[in-house]
């Protein structure tokens, strides 16, 4: 009985080793391959127009957020007033 369980355990262990050594390994990538990928990315200087467009987009987003918050505050005030009248 114990020989059978020992044999089964050894077979499972060796099978797991064989599968983990394949291409489906969960081991992390080596440092060299990560550095090679990051060398492809280069930085480019933005023009004045591009920078201004980004600034405008950020300003618009801030304005929209502010509007949304103001509307929420006003709606809550109105709800409170209506609840106080009842």
* Each residue's pLDDT tens digit, 24-40: 555 555 555 555 556 67
pLDDT confidence of residue 44: 83
Assess whether pLDDT exceeds 90 at residue 41: no
Predicted TM-score of the model (pTM): 0.40
Half-sphere exposure of 85 (CA within 13 A, CB side): 6
More confident site: 29 or 12: 12
Pick from 44, 43, 47: which is nearest to 55 by CA? 47
State how far the Cα of 81 lies from the Cα of 57, in Å rounded to an integer: 36
Domain positions in the chain are 33-86
């Amino acid at each position: 009985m114990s020989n059978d369980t020992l044999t089964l355990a050894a077979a499972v262990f060796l099978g797991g080793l064989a599968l983990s050594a394949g291409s489906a390994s969960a081991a992390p990538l080596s440092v060299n391959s990560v550095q090679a990928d990051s060398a492809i990315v280069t930085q480019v200087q933005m023009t004045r127009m591009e920078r201004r467009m980004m600034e405008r987009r950020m300003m618009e987003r801030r304005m929209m957020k502010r509007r949304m918050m103001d509307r929420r505050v006003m709606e809550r005030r109105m709800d409170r007033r209506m609840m106080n009248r009842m």
